[in-house]
Amino acid sequence: MLYALRHWSLFVLENILSELDYPNIALNGDEADVWELLGSTTSTRLRVIVGKNKIVFIGEAQRISNIGITLKLFANKLKDIQVIATGSSSFAYDRSRTVELSAKINEPLTGRKYQFQLFAPSYMEMIEHHGLLTENRLLEHRIIYGYYPEIITHPGEERELLQLLSDSFLYKDLLLLSKFRLSFCI
């Protein structure tokens, strides 16, 4: 699952996992011990890590070296285990996306994966959730602050959160995009 917005996949998957009757394990690719566990592993070691769980959720999977090979081991050797790996998009250029996780898994998982891309909730989805009247009342607010999941789930903190988001993620994306454009010029 690829996403342009941090926390959105976590929000969606936490809701899905909480409703499942299957034992599951969530691993965070931001944690160093998870890098070590999954970065260079065997199918036998994966079986021990997973234990009796039937669903494995790996968040921020693009941070784990060799994640494509690890996911291939799950697909080929641990066929009774469902794996959901999520990762953020690095940046967009026109309509083609260069995606960190996608780049790491495409070759090893050819024919073995389903890929989904998550976007921020749309106006229509928010109408379904809050109702037309509420969303119409919030329209100016939504135009100013957007539909970033962190913003819509923390009313009253929009200014601070938007500043934090723009300082970190947007800056990173612009920096990557400028390097991408610079490489075309050279």
Q: Where are the domains of the chain?
A: 1-119, 120-186
The total of other beta-carbon atoms located within 10 Å of residue 145's CB is: 16
| Predicted pLDDT at 21 | 83
| Predicted pLDDT at 47 | 96
| Predicted pLDDT at 97 | 35
CA distance linking residue 67 with residue 83, whole number of Å: 12
* 1-119 CATH, one of 3.90.650.10, 3.40.50.300, 3.30.390.30, 2.40.50.140: 3.40.50.300
3-class state of residue 99 by DSSP: strand
| Predicted pLDDT at 8 | 56
- Which residues lie below 8 Å from residue 63, measured CB to CB, with a gap of 6+? 29, 30, 35, 87
In our burial notation (b when 16+ CB lie closer than 10 A, e otherwise), range 56-68 reads: bbbbbbbbbebbb
| Predicted pLDDT at 164 | 83
Q: Residue 89 is encoded by which pair of tokens?
A: 């998009």
CA distance linking residue 19 with residue 176, whole number of Å: 38
- Dmax over Cα atoms in the chain, in whole Å? 55
| Predicted pLDDT at 110 | 64
- pLDDT under 50 in the chain at which residues? 1-2, 4, 90-99, 182-186
The reported pTM is 0.62
| Predicted pLDDT at 68 | 86
